[in-house]
Structure formats: structure tokens, C-alpha cells
């Protein structure tokens, strides 16, 4: 396997890990809302675990600057997706409460 193939495999592994984190955060959605902290924690996990790794790949010239930026942009777009899903879940829960007459 070439170095480029190894780098692509590493990035795919990282993508899978970040997607699993996103799915696990969605499982923590509370029926009472107030879940914005989940998106912040997800973002912090990316900053703590993924960003340094991608930065190091760039420093070692395995990734170009634009490639590193593109990958991190993808990761942070998942944070926005999670934030949107949390807002949608909270709106849905509010609607259900209103329909039951307890909201």
C-alpha cells in the first residue's frame, strides 16, 4: 500500500470515528430539551482528538493545507448537523407537549 493510500485509509478511519461520536451524542438527547451542551462536547472532542492528529499529518507533509482544512471542515460540519438535529428534536418534543396539553 502506498503512503497516499495509507493516509486515505487513516482519514476514512477518522471519519468513521467522528460519525460514531455524532451518533452516540444523538442517543443522549433528553426528552426535556436543553441539549446544546452535546454539540459543544462533540466539538471539543474533535478539537482534542482529531485536530491535533490532522495537524500532525499536515506538519509531516502527509496532507496539504487545503486537504487538512477540507477534512476538518467536514468534521465541524457534523457538529452543525448535530446541532440542527438537536434543535429539531427539541422542537418536536415541544410540539408533542403542546399537543398533550402540558406545554
Please give the mean pLDDT across all residues of the chain: 91
Q: Is residue 91 part of a domain?
A: yes
Q: Is 38 exposed, middle or buried (0-12, 13-18, 19+ CB in 10 A)?
A: buried
Q: Is residue 28 part of a domain?
A: no
Confidence band, pLDDT 50/70/90 cuts, at residue 101: confident
Mean pLDDT, residues 69-77 taken together:
98
Mean pLDDT, residues 57-76 taken together:
97
Q: Is residue 94 part of a domain?
A: yes
Q: Which domain holds residue 68?
A: 36-103
* Number of structural domains the chain divides into: 1
Q: Is residue 2 part of a domain?
A: no
3-state secondary structure 37-92: HHHHHHHHHHHHHHHHHHHHHHHCCCCCHHHHHHHHHHHHHHHHHHHHHHHHHHHH
Convert the pLDDT of each residue in 17-57 to its tens digit.
999 999 999 999 887 778 889 999 999 999 999 999 999 99
Q: What is the pTM of this model?
A: 0.85
Q: Is residue 12 part of a domain?
A: no
Q: Is residue 17 part of a domain?
A: no
The conformation of residue 31, written as its DSSP 8-state character, comes to T
Report the pLDDT value the prediction gives residue 65, as an integer from 0 to 100: 96
Q: Is residue 25 part of a domain?
A: no
Spatial distance between the Cα atoms of 95 and 5, rounded to a whole number of angstroms: 48
Amino acid at each position: 500500500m502506498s503512503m497516499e493510500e495509507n493516509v486515505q485509509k487513516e482519514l476514512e478511519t477518522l471519519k468513521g470515528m467522528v460519525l460514531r461520536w455524532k451518533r452516540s451524542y444523538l442517543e443522549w438527547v433528553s426528552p426535556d430539551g436543553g441539549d446544546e451542551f452535546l454539540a459543544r462536547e462533540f466539538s471539543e472532542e474533535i478539537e482534542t482528538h482529531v485536530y491535533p492528529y490532522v495537524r500532525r499529518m499536515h506538519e509531516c507533509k502527509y496532507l496539504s493545507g487545503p486537504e487538512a482544512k477540507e477534512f476538518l471542515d467536514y468534521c465541524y460540519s457534523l457538529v452543525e448537523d448535530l446541532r440542527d438535529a438537536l434543535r429539531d428534536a427539541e422542537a418536536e418534543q415541544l410540539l408533542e407537549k403542546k399537543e398533550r396539553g402540558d406545554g
